[in-house]
Amino acid sequence: MGLFRLVTGLPGPSGFGSASTAEQVTAGIDASNLTVIITGGASGIGTETARVFALRGANVIIAARNLEAADGAKQLIQRTAPASRVDILELDLSSLKSVRAFADKFLSMDLPLNILINNAGVMFCPYQLSRDGIEMQFATNHLGHFLLTNLLLEKMRSTAKKTGIEGRIINLSSIAHKHTYKGGIWFDRLNDKDVYSDKKAYGQSKLANILHANELSRRLQEDGANVTVNSVHPGLIMTNLMRHSFLLMRVLKVFSYVFWKNVPQGAATTCYVALHPSLKGVTGKYFFDCNEEMPSSWARDEKLAKKLWDFSEKLVKSAW
Q: What is the pLDDT of residues 226-275, one digit of tens each?
A: 999 999 999 887 555 544 445 554 544 444 444 569 999 999 999 999 99
Reading phi first (left if > 0) and then psi (alpha if -120 to 50, else beta), residue 270 is in alpha
Please state, in angstroms and as integers, the Cα–Cα distance from residue 119 to each residue in 176, 197, 231, 239, 255, following that order. 15, 23, 10, 13, 27
How many Å apart are CA 237 and CA 71, to the nearest integer? 23
Q: How high is the pLDDT of residue 6? A: 54
Q: Is the dihedral of CA 206, 302, 284, 221 positive or negative?
A: negative
What is the CATH architecture assignment of 15-318? 3-Layer(aba) Sandwich (3.40)
For the beta carbon of residue 308, count every other beta carbon within 10 angstroms.
Answer: 23
How many Å apart are CA 118 and CA 158, to the nearest integer? 20
Per-residue pLDDT reduced to its tens digit, 12-52? 999 999 999 999 999 999 999 999 999 999 999 999 999 99
How many Å apart are CA 67 and CA 69, to the nearest integer? 5
Please state, in angstroms and as integers, the Cα–Cα distance from residue 123 to each residue in 42, 80, 101, following that order. 16, 30, 24
Q: How high is the pLDDT of residue 10? A: 81
Query: Taking Cα atoms as reference points, which of 205, 12, 229 lies closest to residue 94?
Result: 205
Q: How high is the pLDDT of residue 244? A: 45
How many Å apart are CA 233 and CA 294, to the nearest integer? 11
Which run of H or of E encompasses 25? helix 22-25
In single-letter form, the type of residue at position 163 comes to: T
Per-residue pLDDT reduced to its tens digit, 155-191? 999 999 999 999 999 999 999 999 999 999 999 999 9
Q: Confidence band (pLDDT; 50, 70, 90) for 64?
A: very high
Catalytic site residue from 196, 202, 272, 286 = 196
Confirm whether 196 is a catalytic residue: yes
How many Å apart are CA 158 and CA 35, to the nearest integer? 13
What spatial distance separates the first Cα and last Cα of the chain, rounded to whole Å?
42
Res. 3: pLDDT tops 80: no
Backbone angles phi, psi at 128, to 5 degrees: -160, 160
Q: What number is the average pLDDT over the span 4-18?
A: 78
CB 207 within 8 A of CB 89: no
Q: Where would I find the H helices in 177-256?
A: 198-223, 246-255
How many Å apart are CA 131 and CA 124, to the nearest integer? 18
Model confidence, pTM: 0.92
